[in-house]
Structure 1
C-alpha cells in the first residue's frame, strides 16, 4: 500500500494537496518536500513551482549579472576531495597573485561592464585577516563602484584560525575593508554524512551556517549554494534545504539559493555526477516551493548546460546567474559550458521571459524589452582564464 488512505490513490491526493498548498504560498514540511521530490509528476511539480515564481515576479522578468570570479591563490590546506583546483602548500604548481594583479583584473572586468567581483581562492596557510583587508581596500580604492561579493563561511573560519581572532571580528574587519556580501561558496552539502565524506577537513555544515548567521546579524548578507551529485541520498538533499530554511527564518540574510551539480574530473573523489538532469530540475522546483522565505532562485548553466539552465526558468528559477567573465575552479573539475551576454539574453527571451541585467542586490540595471536594442559586445563572454600570468610567489 502507498501513503495515505487508498494506497496509490491516497498518495496522489496527498501530493496534489501539497503542491496546491505550496503553490498558494503555504509552507511545506521537509517530509512533504521529500515526497514531492521523489514522487510528484514532473509537470505538476514544475507547474506548482512556476506558479510561485509568477506570483513573486509577475513582471515576467528573469535576470542575469556580469561578474568575474577572480582566484587569488590555488594553495589550500582544506584538500576537499571534489576539488580539482587546489594545490597543497609547497606544491610546485602552487601560486599566489599579488594585489596589483588582482586590481588589474578588476579593471578589466569594469571595462566589460561587470558590476560584481567574486574573489575566491584556496585556504592559504599564511593568509590572515591583514592580507584580505589590504586586498579589499585596494580594490575598493581603485573601483568603488564594484560590489565585492566574495569569500564565504569557510574562508571566514580559516581567517579566524590563522589570525587568532573570533569569527565575528573577522567578519567586521572584512566588512569594514570593503566586503559587501558573502558568496555561498563552501556550502557544498551541509548534511553531516555526505559533507564529511567529500570534505573531511572543512567545517561541519552547522558551523558553516552559524558563520553565515553571524554575518547576517552584522549586516553582511549572502547567497547559499548546493553542490548535488556526490553520492548523497534524496533525504540528505532535502535535509540540506531544511538546514538553510531554519537559518533564513531567523536572519532573512540569504538573497538567493543556487544549486549546481558536482563535476567529477581531475579530483580525488572521481566517479561521475550522481545527479541526473531530471533530479536537478526536480530539486530546483522543490527548492522554489520549500523556500518560502528566500526571494531568488538561480539556475546553473555552467554545470548542467545552457539548455538545462533555460529549463530551470520553467521550474521556478528567476535568475540565470552570471556571464562569468572568468571561472577556473569548477571548470578545472570538468565544467566546459560557455556562454556570452547575447546568448544568455536569448535563452531568457526564448523561454518566454523578459531578460534583465541585474546587480548583486537583484536590482534591474537594464531591461531588454526590445530585441533590436540588445547589447552586442563579443568580449562579454565566459572563459576559462589562463593562470600562466607572472606570479609573485609560489608556496
Structure 2
C-alpha cells in the first residue's frame, strides 16, 4: 500500500481509519499540522470513496436573501446593514415569489433562503413567505433560516423554539440551513460575533429540529482569529450532535472572506489550508456521509480539486449570491448545471444531481419538468410587507 513508505504514525492512523476507528481530537490536530498535504489528501480520498464511491453531487438551486437589515453587528459580516444605510434592502413577498417563479422555470428543486435579523418584520411575513413559495409547486424544497434566525423568529412569535419550528415546518419549511455556526469556542464568538447566539443555542436549535424529524446542514467558518484547536473543538461538537440525532445531511466548511468588514486578518485562508480543512473534516467527521466544497468561497477550480481531498459535493447553481460577494468573493454569481457537471467529470468523478437532502434525483423529479407544472401552478398573490 502507498502508506508503507510513510511513518509508522501514518500507517497507524490509516489502519485505524480503514478499520472504522474514530480519530481523537489529538489525532485530528496532528493531521492538520502535518506537512504532507498529499498524504493527508490520500487518506481523506480513500475515506470518501468508502462512503460514496466515485460519484460527486450538485444541486440545481437558487439563493434568495429576503433582507440584509440586521439588529446584530458581527465584526466578520459584510452583508448586514442598518435601516439608515443606503445599500440596505428588503424584499416584498411578491418580489420573493417572482424570483422563485423565475427559478422554477430554470429547473431548480431548492430555494435557499436566509437574511439578517430584521428589526421590524412580523412573524407572519416568514410563514406567509413559506406558504406562498410552497404553493408554487409541492416538489419545491425550501431550505431556510439559520439557527439565530430561528431564535429571532421564536422571540417575534413569543413561542418556544420547538413550537416555532413546528409552525415553520407546517408552513412549508423542509430543511434548516447550517449557517451561523462560525466557530463554537466562546472566546472566538465574543471576538467576531458579540451578541450572537452561543454554541449551545445553535446546537440546541438543530437538536430540536432533528428530534422533530427534520434534517439540516452544518458549517464552520475558518481562517480568521481561531486556532486549529478551536477548529477541532468545533468539529467535535458537530460530531457529538450527529451521534445523538443523525440529523445532519452534510458539512460545509466556509473560508473566511476578509473584505469590507471590521475583522481584518493578516493571513486569510489559503488553498493549502482549505484542502487540509476539507481533508481533516472528512476523516474526523466519520458519521457524516457528505462534505461540500462550497465553490462560491473556494472558486470553481479549487472546489474541483477538493473532490480529491475528501469532498464529494460542489453545492449548486446558486443564481444570486450576496453574502460572500459583499465580503469580497470574486467568484461568479452562478454556475450553470452544465458547468458543474463538467467540473465533476473533469475531476474523474461521476456527476449526480441531488436534492436538499443529498439524495440522488432524476429529471422527472425536477418541478419544472412536470408537464402540468405551468398549467397547475396557482397564482399566488401574497400581501406585501414593507
Provide TM-score, normalisation by structure 1: 0.87
Q: CA deviation at 1:90?
A: 4.1
Q: 2:43 aligns with which of 44, 48, 56?
A: 48
Q: CA deviation at 1:111?
A: 0.7
Q: CA deviation at 1:273?
A: 5.4
Q: CA deviation at 1:335?
A: 1.0
CA spacing shift, 1:110–1:310, aligned 2, 3 Å: same
Q: Name the counterpart of 1:250.
A: 244
Moved more, 173-182 or 329-338: 329-338
Q: After superposition, give the CA deviation of every residue in 1:319-344 in whole Å (9 maximum; x if it has no partner).
A: 11111111111111111212332222
Correspondence list, 1:91-102, <5 A: 91-102=85-96
Q: Name the counterpart of 1:383.
A: none
Q: CA deviation at 1:73?
A: 0.8
Paired residues of 2:70 and 2:82 also in contact (CA < 8 A): yes
SS at match of 2:67: coil
Paired residues of 2:61 and 2:109 also in contact (CA < 8 A): yes
Matched, 1:365 2:374: no
Count of aligned residue pairs for this structure pair: 359
Correspondence list, 1:301-312, <5 A: 301-312=295-306
Q: Name the counterpart of 1:388.
A: none
Q: CA deviation at 1:30?
A: 1.0
Q: After superposition, give the CA deviation of every residue in 1:351-388 in whole Å (9 maximum; x if it has no partner).
A: 11111211112222259xxxxxxxxxxxxxxxxxxxxx
C-alpha separation in 1, matches of 2:205 and 2:125: 20
C-alpha separation in 1, matches of 2:266 and 2:325: 15
Q: After superposition, give the CA deviation of every residue in 1:296-335 in whole Å (9 maximum; x if it has no partner).
A: 1101221121121011100111111111111111111111
Q: CA deviation at 1:211?
A: 0.9
Matched, 1:28 2:54: no
Paired residues of 1:23 and 1:49 also in contact (CA < 8 A): no
Paired residues of 2:93 and 2:385 also in contact (CA < 8 A): no
C-alpha separation in 2, matches of 1:173 and 1:128: 14
Q: CA deviation at 1:40?
A: 5.8
Q: After superposition, give the CA deviation of every residue in 1:213-262 in whole Å (9 maximum; x if it has no partner).
A: 11100112100011111121111111110111111110000100001211
Q: Name the counterpart of 1:317.
A: 311
SS at match of 2:276: helix
Q: 1:18 aligns with which of 13, 17, 25?
A: 13
Matched, 1:146 2:136: no
Q: Which stretches in structure 2 are left out of the alignment for 5+ residues?
A: 1-5, 364-383
CA spacing shift, 1:353–1:152, aligned 2, 3 Å: same
Q: CA deviation at 1:143?
A: 2.5
Q: After superposition, give the CA deviation of every residue in 1:128-159 in whole Å (9 maximum; x if it has no partner).
A: 43221111011111222210011121101111
Moved more, 73-82 or 251-260: 73-82
Q: Name the counterpart of 1:187.
A: 181
Q: Name the counterpart of 2:324.
A: 330
Q: 1:205 aligns with which of 196, 199, 202?
A: 199
C-alpha separation in 1, matches of 2:22 and 2:240: 12
Matched, 1:269 2:263: yes
Q: Name the counterpart of 1:127.
A: 121
Q: CA deviation at 1:76?
A: 0.3
Q: Name the counterpart of 2:98.
A: 104
Matched, 1:351 2:311: no
Q: Name the counterpart of 1:231.
A: 225
C-alpha separation in 2, matches of 1:366 and 1:133: 30
Provide TM-score, normalisation by structure 2: 0.89
SS at match of 1:62: strand
SS at match of 1:51: helix
Q: CA deviation at 1:393?
A: 7.4
Q: CA deviation at 1:14?
A: 2.6
Q: Which stretches in structure 1 are left out of the alignment for 5+ residues?
A: 1-10, 368-391
After the TM superposition, which parts of structure 1 deviate over 4 Å for at least 4 consecutive aligned residues?
Answer: none
C-alpha separation in 2, matches of 1:306 and 1:56: 23
SS at match of 1:32: helix
C-alpha separation in 1, matches of 2:23 and 2:238: 14
Q: Name the counterpart of 1:88.
A: 82
Q: 1:281 aligns with which of 263, 268, 275?
A: 275
Paired residues of 1:79 and 1:88 also in contact (CA < 8 A): no
